[in-house]
Chains A and B, each alone.
Chain A
Amino acid sequence: MVRRIDTGGGAPVEFTFDGRPVTAQPGDSIAAALTAAGIRDLRDSVVSGAPRGVFCMMGSCFDCLVEVDGVPNRQACMVAAEAGLVVRRQTGSVEVPV
């Protein structure tokens, strides 16, 4: 069960996840804001295709990967939620042009 701890102060900011507006409190990571908004399904595993979401919340597990402003494979728990970010769910592997 997820419960927000009120740390008080500051104006909320808004970003989008797959086009849907998400409100973040100051100091939230993208993962924290998405979790608070009830969004748990962040990508498909590139190995099994199964859905993946937040797990360790501290930068270790690389499960919460999302696309942020066009850059894939960002760790949602390690990127601060800022106004206007365009965050997207990921499917498939990152294609690197050779």
Chain B
Amino acid sequence: MTGAASADTLVIGGGLVGAAVAWGLARQGEKVIVLDEGDVALRASRGNFGLVWVQSKGSDMFDYARWTRRSADLWPDFAATLTEETGISPGYHKPGGLHFCLSEEELDRVRAQNRRMHNVNDALGYGAEMLDRQQLDEIVQGLGPDVVGGSYGKHDGHASPLYLLRGLHAALTARGGRYAADARAEKVERDGDGYSVTTARGTFRAGKVVLAAGHGNTALAPQLGLDIPLRPEKGQILVTERAAPLLPMPTHLLRQTDEGTVMMGDSHEDTGYSTRSTAPVIAQIARNAVRCFPALEKLRIVRTWAAVRILTPDGAPIYQQSQTHPGVFSVNCHSGVTLAGAHALALAPMIAEGQLAPEMAAFSPERFHGQTD
């Protein structure tokens, strides 16, 4: 191999985060190469549930709540543009979303959360309201007797994570971007005014580098003056056979896809980087789902899987630019679908400018070092 492939920006990571940023950069006129590890990677973007979810996000960090809302507000245009450029629709729908409460305690907790967040977006409003059982019955038929009420968020929606990923990759290619498969980034080094990245598929050069490799960012961070504290958290998902429309909108633990399958899953486990499905958790997810929506009992489960969330210490994203290595950025979050609109249409333009906007300072990892004890 002679010479190194070069670009304006190298994006390390070809999942939803990397692909959204890469497409966004290409839309700004940049030449972009995505370096993707390959199918040995954890592949969180292939195991996603597919919610575009606003309610409850950022209840302890209002900047995150506002950023999430901004992404949800961008999603309709984002989905339409992606479909227009590629012919591949991410299957986005925004009918609002429901959080079911199965006890008075949970109802009180969610009500308090909604109250706390009611003015998080000032005049734009928070957009979630409590519904009693009777109000819930008017919008969803067939709820189980244990559902005492819930919260309806009008900005919530859902999409197909797989079509979204495929669409982003196709859109990147259509705009002259390149996707390098099996190109795990081993080393990032200064190279003249920019950087060179050594991979299993050769060396790549660019003026800027974006780390968007999920848990893969952990190994790359120290050599670039970045601080990316992350922990893995397993989520398991069950999917049923296809059925005629049952659920008019997504909920925090159930959603029906365009194809008719019902996905269920709301588990949180600390099992390291394991992506194994386990029977006790699967059973618990199914029990919960049937408790909320008893008709599901009649549907067969056709697949289960697990994926590993990329969690920061406070659950909110980390966006940062390196102080020691100008032009190097990192992006980490566990909401690759929800935040895809913001990553492509709001974050990528900042990276193209070479500078994160001042409002992004709230997402710096410095927030984890603010306390002394």
Residue ranges of A at the interface with B (Cβ–Cβ < 8 Å): 46-47, 62, 65, 73, 92-98
Is B260 touching A96 in the complex (CB atoms < 8 A)?
Answer: no
Is A47 touching B244 in the complex (CB atoms < 8 A)?
Answer: no
Is A93 touching B295 in the complex (CB atoms < 8 A)?
Answer: no
B241 at the interface (CB under 8 A from A): yes
Which residue in chain A gives the minimum CB-CB distance to B297? Answer: A96
Which residues of chain B are near A92, meaning CB under 8 Å? 244
Q: Which of the residues B142, B241, B293 comes within 8 Å of A94, measured between beta carbons?
A: B241
User: Given A46-B260, A47-B258, A96–B302 Cβ distance below 8 Å?
Assistant: no
B300 at the interface (CB under 8 A from A): yes
Query: What number of A-B contacts does a CB cutoff of 8 Å give?
Result: 40
* Binary contact readout B297-332 vs A (1 if CB under 8 angstroms, 0 otherwise): 011101000000000000000000000000000000
Is B258 touching A96 in the complex (CB atoms < 8 A)?
Answer: no
Q: Which of the residues A47, A62, A93 comes within 8 Å of B243, measured between beta carbons?
A: A93
Which residues of chain A are near B242, meaning CB under 8 Å? 46, 73, 93-94
Q: Shortest CB–CB separation between residue B137 and chain A, in angstroms?
A: 11
- Among A73, A92, A96, A97, max chain B CB count under 10 A is at A96
B135 at the interface (CB under 8 A from A): no
A83 vs B343: C-alpha distance in the bound complex, in angstroms? 58
B270 at the interface (CB under 8 A from A): no
A31 vs B315: C-alpha distance in the bound complex, in angstroms? 48
Main secondary structure of the interface of A (DSSP, over half): loop
User: Given A46-B259, A46-B260, A47-B258, A96–B246 Cβ distance below 8 Å?
Assistant: yes
User: Given A46-B259, A46-B260, A47-B258, A96–B244 Cβ distance below 8 Å?
Assistant: yes
A48 vs B298: C-alpha distance in the bound complex, in angstroms? 24
- Among B241, B260, B295, B296, max chain A CB count under 10 A is at B241
Is B302 touching A94 in the complex (CB atoms < 8 A)?
Answer: no
Which residues of chain A are near B246, meaning CB under 8 Å? 96, 98
Which 5 residue pairs spanning A and B have beta carbons closest together? A98-B142, A93-B244, A98-B295, A73-B241, A94-B243
Question: Could you list 15 A-B pairs, sorted by A, with CB under 8 Å?
Answer: A47-B258, A47-B260, A62-B241, A92-B244, A93-B243, A93-B260, A94-B241, A94-B244, A94-B260, A96-B243, A96-B244, A96-B246, A96-B296, A98-B142, A98-B246
Is A96 touching B259 in the complex (CB atoms < 8 A)?
Answer: no
Is A95 touching B141 in the complex (CB atoms < 8 A)?
Answer: no
Is A95 touching B295 in the complex (CB atoms < 8 A)?
Answer: no
A46 vs B243: C-alpha distance in the bound complex, in angstroms? 9
Is B260 touching A98 in the complex (CB atoms < 8 A)?
Answer: no
Which residues of chain B are near A95, meaning CB under 8 Å? 243-244
A62 vs B295: C-alpha distance in the bound complex, in angstroms? 22
A95 vs B141: C-alpha distance in the bound complex, in angstroms? 14
A97 vs B294: C-alpha distance in the bound complex, in angstroms? 10
Which residues of chain A are near B244, meaning CB under 8 Å? 92-96
Q: Shortest CB–CB separation between residue A94 and chain B, in angstroms?
A: 5
A93 vs B299: C-alpha distance in the bound complex, in angstroms? 12
